[in-house]
Amino acid sequence: MNAFLNFLVRQKKLALLFTLSIVILGFMTLQKIQRDTYPVIEFDRLSINTSYPSASPRDVEKNITNVIENKIKGIYGIKELTSTSSEGSSRINIEIDEEVDDIQEVKDSISEAVNEIEDLPEDANDPRVVDRTSTEWPILTIVIGGDSINVETAKAIANNIEKNLSLIDGVSSVNVSGDSEREVQIRINPEKLFQYQLSFDQVRSVIADQNVRSAIGDNNQGRNQKNIVIISEYETMESLENVVVKSSFDGPTILLKDIATIDEGEIGFNTVTRINGTKGYILKVTKTEKADVIRTIEKVRATLDTLKESYPSNLNLIVTDDRSKPVSNRLNIVMNNALVGLALIMVVLGLFLSLKTAFWVAVSIPVTLLGTVAFLGFAGETINLISTIGMVLVLGLVVDDSIIIAESIHHFKEKGGDVYQNIVDGLKRVIMPVITTILTTVLAISTVLLVSGTTGKFIYILPITVICALTFSLLEVSIALPAHMSGSEANKQKTWFKPVERWFEKALLVILRWRFIILSLFIALLAFSAYIGTKEISYIQWPSSGTNSINIRVQTPLGTPVETTEQSIIKIDEIIMDKVGSNLDFFTSTIGSRGSNRAAIAITLIPANDREVTAKEIIEILKAETEGIEGVSRINFRTNRGGPRGALDIELSLIGSNDEQRQAAVDQLEMILNSFEGVSDIDRDDDLSKNRIEVLLDYESMARLGIQYQQVYSHLRTIYSGMDVSDVEFNNTSLNVKMYLGDSNYSDDYITKTSIRNNQGRMIPMSQFANVIETPGDPNYKHLNGERVVKVSAAVEDSVTTAQSVSKRALDELDLINNFPEVRVIEGGSSLEAKEALSDFSLALGFAVFGIYMLISLLFNSYSQPLLVILSIPFALIGVVWAFFFHSETFSFFVLLGVLALVGVVVNDSLVMISHLNFIKKNKDMDGSSIEWIAKGAKDRLRAVILTTLTTLAGVLPLIYGFGGKDAFLQPMVMALGYGLLFGTFVTLILLPCLYSINLDVSNWFSRLKTRFL
């Protein structure tokens, strides 16, 4: 081994080549690697969407949702089935069990089952199965409008942009919306039908039969073969108007235009979308899964700049919702803070060691990071939030390992003699603890793979990144760093630190004499810190601090049409643009998606570092300004949290077949949540839809009058909803052709006034066999695994309470078992995510501790010494608790990740300390007092431990306090790492020697007992 290590430390050119190769390869990969906001997540979810125009929620539930659910609910692998039956549409969401061997097979089975369904209503569209991934969200939104631009011009420009952007490499799709769908509307005059003795079905059949294109075959002419096609298609509106609907030898020829008016008109919109207060054409650009978000958007913007030159100058073209901005912003923040941290590390190392040593230790950071980037690029992974977090997490350990090895080599070089042998001796002294530390860190971070659900998929790249970085770090510090340091004799140690070391040794001698009291003080501080951490600091899975998003939900009185609701939203849009001002990036207002009287406004602010007000302060301003707007009955505000799912703070789903009990339980739960401080934006998803007009038929009278149900259904549907006839293509635009009976302005009063042709051809007024009543509308019917469910959601103010606390208190007060025995509850939202994450993290930590114990046992060949290392971990957490307490911050999922990184660094320092004490114990005269050589051994490690702490703090302080820009995700993580390590320094230098001495006392006591009694 000595010969091999001696060979390596002499290969300075090989070491330099290794370092340069990694750096060059990393930079080359950095130019091509895909950058994205988050990792690509396969959600293992499907949705089945079915349109049933004009149907009430109850009819949709009965005729669509129940039919599909019954067909698919028996398929193996389905974990959860939820559905919403609303006016005119059914949406079924399917979550697939993660334990299934072949998820794609389950998805295929679901699609096949849906395709086999044949008993849906004739007027319902075919169900559409949609697979969900995290790449389906738009990366850019383009709005086309202008006061003086007509609709046709704007539409042509939208189509032109869509066509050109779709050709860009990396663009998956461009979805154009914002214009009401159009159709060819044929409105039949009922009096003309009666006059010419025609039926509605006759006219419909004639129009459909004359709009065909059929292939006949070829002309059987050998080499001169040609295809024969019958073409009878409507190419213009005029050709449709001149359709012959009736003709005879002795009678007049009746054309369609003689009995109907034919126009191209709007279908009628149920949803209106406005962006930045502008209503126009909206194009949403999505990218392919493997496309780089920054480079793709740069190409899109360049294409738009070119296209704009050919468009009218008065065109208003807004480009917004740029998803590359947060990615580039985060990368810039990390880069800026890394440069500041690197400079601080150089200064600190230069004060303790030589500048040359400081330089080569600092070089290990870019080598490790660029090597990791190269690996991620070759593996097809992306640079995203989670992989960036992995690189930041591992920096502390990378610097720690480099300093430990460099300081040890520096120490041995100071002894003089053969430089190369001194370097080998210095490397051998610490390499095994360093390797063990890396293995323990790999083990600890690998347990993140135990985190289940969406959160687990969200962070799967974290352990991959960390393990890769640690591998490159080990190669750099064991192969390259010793050779880099072999170029010259060591400069003498900086003498200014000698007095510090002597003072520390004297102080530690006193402390070791009082080791049991010191241990008691540390235990007391740990207990008090645990109390503060559990009682005074909340755990919030995804904190809202630093958020750039605000959601507003607006409600007008029930029955308000979309057009009227839009007028109220326009007033709110104006307030947003005026009051948010320069802090506004963009906002989208959607009216009618959950009912004609409801609207949602999503506001995106500029990054937190670029504004002086928080999202919460902006909400307070908007609340004051929007109070009392005419026509608005309710308005709620909510900030968005991060995380992979964007879950609401509180989601409580009440399930039960007893409608009366379920409704009462929902009412009670809503009252309970309203009584809690810090809870707002309470919502329930069982609000009534618009009122319903019910037509009650007298079947006895219908039988006497010769009228059947299907005749009544067809007659009324053609009046109010129309019937599909065919499809045409006019001016390269596909349009649906629909027939209506009568004018478009018939109200419900007309139902009893209209007449229906009976089986004998006589016109019978509906008033003779039908009555009309008005009833309250149905709510949207929700199902969970086939049972009706109502979900109650709410937002929580982080500074007042937590989602977990509110959910528990609310359910305790609701007391379903005693008050509503036929109703049960399922908890969701961020409160459930927090419980699951903490549970998974506790399990992962347990596995990590056990694995760390086993590895350290192998290194030290001891049962008790691994416990000393493990005991240092909870004591280091004292620094985390008090840092967050004094900074008034909450614990979060990213804090847990910071704690994982802290465990690696603390274990590293503890391992090296105990390893060095064991070495001194083995090689000294044991007649002296143990506390003397323990104090001397701890003094020997003082410089390395202080260097580790100061350099790690220098690396993370810029991120903690945002010297190079703030990042709400990274800040709590590095704060946990930095301040945990700061207190961990006292644990390593003071508590650990005390524990080591106490362990010796206990070992000696057992030895004496063994000698006496055995």
Per residue in 612-667, pLDDT tens?
Answer: 888 888 888 998 888 888 888 888 888 776 555 555 778 888 898 888 898 899 88
Who's near 391: CB < 8 A, 6+ residues apart?
Answer: 334, 369, 372, 465, 469
Asked if residues 351 and 491 have their Cβ atoms less than 8 Å apart, the reply is no
CA-based nearest residue to 723, from 54, 49, 181, 117: 54
Q: How many CB atoms lie within 10 A of CB 347?
A: 13
C-alpha 182/C-alpha 710 separation (Å) is 28
Structure tokens at 668: 């009670």
Give me the percent of the chain exceeding a pLDDT of 90: 6
Asked if residues 475 and 21 have their Cβ atoms less than 8 Å apart, the reply is no
Buried b or exposed e, range 799-826, using 16+ CB within 10 angstroms: eebbbbbbbebbeeebebeeebeebbbe
| 599 residue type, one letter | A
Whether residue 268 is predicted with pLDDT greater than 60 in this model: the reply is no
Question: Of the given ranges (164-168, 388-392, 784-788), which has the lowest mean pLDDT?
Answer: 388-392
Name the more confident of 102 and 28: 28
CA-based nearest residue to 23, from 288, 261, 368: 368
Name the more confident of 99 and 374: 374
Model pLDDT, residue 878: 93
Model pLDDT, residue 572: 92
Q: Over range 184-188, report the average pLDDT.
A: 85
Asked if residues 655 and 784 have their Cβ atoms less than 8 Å apart, the reply is yes
Q: Over range 395-413, report the average pLDDT.
A: 78
Q: Over range 4-23, report the average pLDDT.
A: 82
Structure tokens at 874: 């909870």
Q: What is the DSSP letter of 64?
A: I
Parallel/antiparallel/unpaired status of strands 254-255 and 584-591: unpaired
CA-based nearest residue to 373, from 444, 468, 456, 302: 468
C-alpha 478/C-alpha 405 separation (Å) is 8
- Find which of 592-596, 743-747, 864-868 is predicted with most confidence, using mean pLDDT: 864-868
Q: How far is CA 337 from CA 343, 362, 954, 969, in A?
A: 10, 15, 10, 15
Parallel/antiparallel/unpaired status of strands 254-255 and 78-86: unpaired
Model pLDDT, residue 25: 92
CA-based nearest residue to 381, from 28, 33, 842: 33
Asked if residues 83 and 71 have their Cβ atoms less than 8 Å apart, the reply is no
Coil/strand/helix, residue 218: strand
Q: How far is CA 459 from CA 89, 644, 967, in A?
A: 35, 9, 18
Q: In the structure, what pLDDT confidence band is assigned to residue 219 with cuts at 50, 70 and 90?
A: low
Q: How far is CA 547 from CA 383, 755, 962, 966, in A?
A: 21, 60, 16, 12
CA-based nearest residue to 713, from 265, 122, 208: 122
Asked if residues 52 and 721 have their Cβ atoms less than 8 Å apart, the reply is no
Cite the DSSP H helix spans in 479-614.
481-484, 498-513, 515-535, 562-580
Structure tokens at 451: 């985190």
C-alpha 264/C-alpha 182 separation (Å) is 7
C-alpha 733/C-alpha 165 separation (Å) is 20
Name the more confident of 148 and 689: 689
Q: Over range 358-380, report the average pLDDT.
A: 86
Model pLDDT, residue 43: 65
Whether residue 882 is predicted with pLDDT greater than 60 in this model: the reply is yes
CA-based nearest residue to 543, from 746, 802, 738: 802
Residues in the chain: 1014
Bridge partners, 790 (sequence order):
654
Whether residue 955 is predicted with pLDDT greater than 80 in this model: the reply is no
Q: Over range 715-744, report the average pLDDT.
A: 80
Whether residue 573 is predicted with pLDDT greater than 60 in this model: the reply is yes
Question: Of the given ranges (190-194, 235-239, 453-457, 890-894), which has the lowest mean pLDDT?
Answer: 453-457
Helix 992-1013 and helix 515-535, axial crossing angle in degrees, nearest 10: 120
Question: Of the given ranges (121-135, 456-470, 589-603, 672-686), which has the lowest mean pLDDT?
Answer: 121-135
Model pLDDT, residue 523: 93
**What is the 3-state composition of the chain as percent helix, strand, coil, each rounded to the nearest 5?**
55, 20, 25
Model pLDDT, residue 539: 76
What DSSP element (H or E) covers 703? helix 699-705
Whether residue 509 is predicted with pLDDT greater than 60 in this model: the reply is yes
Query: Counting beta carbons within 10 angstroms of the beta carbon of residue 145, is it exposed (0 to 12), middle (13 to 18) or buried (19 or more)?
Result: buried
Model pLDDT, residue 520: 93
Q: Over range 539-558, report the average pLDDT.
A: 78
Model pLDDT, residue 136: 63
Instruction: Round the CA-based radius of gyration of the chain to a whole number and report it.
Output: 37
Q: In the structure, what pLDDT confidence band is assigned to residue 300 with cuts at 50, 70 and 90?
A: very high
Who's near 909: CB < 8 A, 6+ residues apart?
Answer: 400, 945, 948, 984, 985, 988
pTM for the whole structure: 0.70
C-alpha 259/C-alpha 256 separation (Å) is 6
Model pLDDT, residue 880: 92
C-alpha 65/C-alpha 57 separation (Å) is 10
Model pLDDT, residue 633: 87
Model pLDDT, residue 545: 66
- Tens digit of each residue's pLDDT (9 = 90 or more) over 316-334: 788 877 888 878 877 777 7
Name the more confident of 374 and 686: 374
Coil/strand/helix, residue 1000: helix
For the chain, which domains are there? Answer: 1-32+353-490 (1.20.1640.10), 42-181+270-321 (3.30.70.1320), 184-215+225-266 (3.30.2090.10), 494-536+862-1013 (1.20.1640.10), 545-640 (3.30.70.1430), 692-724+737-775 (3.30.2090.10)
Model pLDDT, residue 271: 74
Q: Over range 490-495, report the average pLDDT.
A: 56
Structure tokens at 59: 């009819």
Whether residue 927 is predicted with pLDDT greater than 60 in this model: the reply is no
Q: What are phi and psi of 142, to 5 degrees?
A: -120, 130
Q: In the structure, what pLDDT confidence band is assigned to residue 64 with cuts at 50, 70 and 90?
A: very high
Q: In the structure, what pLDDT confidence band is assigned to residue 160 with cuts at 50, 70 and 90?
A: confident
Give me the percent of the chain exceeding a pLDDT of 70: 91
Model pLDDT, residue 341: 67
Q: In the structure, what pLDDT confidence band is assigned to residue 148 with cuts at 50, 70 and 90?
A: low
Who's near 465: CB < 8 A, 6+ residues apart?
Answer: 372, 376, 386, 387, 390, 391, 394
Round the average pLDDT of the chain to a whole number and report it.
81
Question: Of the given ranges (25-39, 612-626, 641-655, 733-747), which has the lowest mean pLDDT?
Answer: 641-655
C-alpha 318/C-alpha 577 separation (Å) is 15
What DSSP element (H or E) covers 169? none
